[in-house]
A and B are shown apart, each in its own frame.
Chain A
Amino acid sequence: MNMLKEIVVGGWSLVSGMLVTIRRIYRPVVTTQYPRKRLEMSPSYRGHIELKRFEETATHNCVACGTCMRFCPTNVIKVQGEKENAHGAKRATLYFIDFSHCSLCGLCVANCPTQTLKFSNEYELAHLCRWEGVVDLLKRLE
């Protein structure tokens, strides 16, 4: 009697499992055919960092203070700047990152005094050569 019950219960569980999978066949797929179609990335996705563009100045607000450079645990960032006139603030003239070392920790973004850094939505980050991981952020902003 016990065995019969086991067969019936087990058989029903098999049938209900098969019902689950047959329903899946008619559901819409959740994958995207990648090179043909691309996804909109979510705003909180972390690609490599990039410079923010502010509406009032229509450009970035990097003062080349070097905070990001010093905070970076793996020395990804290289930033240089120069003053436009003797009393003005510095402006970045060179901002490079080497993404192949970046761990996306976000210390640079969190500590930027002018909040001009953010994470990009870049997700195609596979490269054939290590130098292709070097990104010129100023050029990227233009």
Chain B
Amino acid sequence: MWQSLVTLLGPDLARLVVGLVAIMALVQVNALFLVWLERKVAGHIQLRLGPMEVGPHGILQTIVDGIKLLSKELITPRHVDWKLFVLAPIVVFIPVFSCFVVIPFSESLQIRDLNVGVLLIFAFSTFNVLAILMGGWAANNKYSLLGAIRSVAQSVAYEIPLLLVVLNVILWANSMQMSAIVEAQSRVWNAFWMPVAAVIYLICATAETNRAPFDIPEAESELVAGFHTEYSGMRFALFFLAEYSNMLIVAAVATTLFFGGWKPFPFLDFLPIPGVVWFFGKTYALIFGVIWVRWTFPRLRFDQLMNFSWKIMIPAALIHLVVYAGIIKLIR
């Protein structure tokens, strides 16, 4: 099977095709699991049970919801810019596919180990903003447009500190290759020796994925549903799916950049646990943290959000970069 695929497509393309199919499966299963997990965690934090009816402890609830969304009508309102309106849920999926290409799930389980891996991830993740702007603009609805405007402002503000702290990691590993960054952490995780950077990264990643407490682009109490107000059925589901996939991406990138990737805990490396288990364990632990934050804190006001980024995060990230660049220069 693999041989015939290789002779048909060539080794590179065959690897890409198989990898993308695997990513598609991973994205679906991840979204099904995460939506269930989110509802369960939210339930237990609020002292209730969450979904319990479909399957044991409601584990099949998301599948049933997905089937319902599939069967719903795709409503296109009359005055929308329909080309952009149809395109936006598709564009929102570009980063999902392209970012997973370079993420090292284990030592060998990586589709392409590009030497510009980190750059590729952060370049493609901006498509997310583009899709939200397209969807919000095309819907011809004030709530959608406001949501889109907020999303763009927020993403611009939080991408700067995000990239600044990632620069620390790149300087330390002296490479943008994901596998090299994981190798550089084989003794000490980056999270231990640059904890401030890890915290800034996690805060910015939460803001980038539009998760609470930074979910003002879709603040339901003021903007109906924000940029996806006019979307229904499977188009809405695509936005939803992309949101949860983006959570997986930022958590996977955080795992790779700060938490040692697929490497085991330094004091537990005698255990015969494969790297991919370590990787997904760390990733889902981070995602649990993000869910936990969502159900703890109230939403920030827009000016608070902007002040937090421009007055605290960006100066902190800049100072951190200067200090660590100096330290790294001294060590080498």
Given A18-B293, A20-B296, A33-B52: A25 and B312 interface contact (C-beta under 8 Å): no
Given A21-B292, A25-B41: A14 and B297 interface contact (C-beta under 8 Å): yes
Q: Is A88 an interface residue (CB 8 A)?
A: no
Instruction: Report yes or no: A24 in contact with B47, Cβ–Cβ below 8 A.
Output: yes
Shortest beta-carbon distance, A19 to chain B, in Å? 9
Q: Is A27 an interface residue (CB 8 A)?
A: yes
Q: How far is the CA of A66 from the CA of B41 in the complex (A)?
A: 55
Q: Is B45 an interface residue (CB 8 A)?
A: yes
Residue of A nearest to B44 (CB): A25
Shortest beta-carbon distance, A90 to chain B, in Å? 51
Instruction: Give the contacts of A17-49 with B (CB-CB under 8 A).
Output: 17-18, 20-22, 24-25, 27-31, 33
Instruction: Report yes or no: A24 in contact with B312, Cβ–Cβ below 8 A.
Output: no
Given A14-B297, A18-B296, A20-B296: A31 and B45 interface contact (C-beta under 8 Å): no
Shortest beta-carbon distance, A51 to chain B, in Å? 37
B17: chain A residues at CB < 8 Å are none
Residue of A nearest to B297 (CB): A17
Q: Is A107 an interface residue (CB 8 A)?
A: no
Q: Is B295 an interface residue (CB 8 A)?
A: yes
Instruction: Report yes or no: B44 in contact with A24, Cβ–Cβ below 8 A.
Output: yes
From A3, A30, A33, contact of B47 by CB (8 A) = A30
Shortest beta-carbon distance, A23 to chain B, in Å? 10
Instruction: Give the contacts of A40-95 with B (CB-CB under 8 A).
Output: none
Q: List 28 A-B contacts (CB under 8 A).
A: A7-B312, A14-B297, A17-B296, A17-B297, A18-B292, A18-B293, A18-B296, A21-B45, A21-B292, A21-B295, A21-B296, A22-B292, A24-B45, A24-B47, A25-B44, A25-B45, A27-B47, A28-B47, A29-B43, A29-B44, A29-B48, A29-B49, A30-B48, A31-B47, A31-B48, A31-B49, A33-B49, A33-B52
What 4 A-B pairs are tightest by C-beta distance, nearest first? A31-B48, A21-B296, A25-B44, A30-B47
Please list the residues of chain B having a beta carbon within 8 angstroms of any beta carbon in chain A: 41, 43-49, 52, 292-293, 295-297, 312
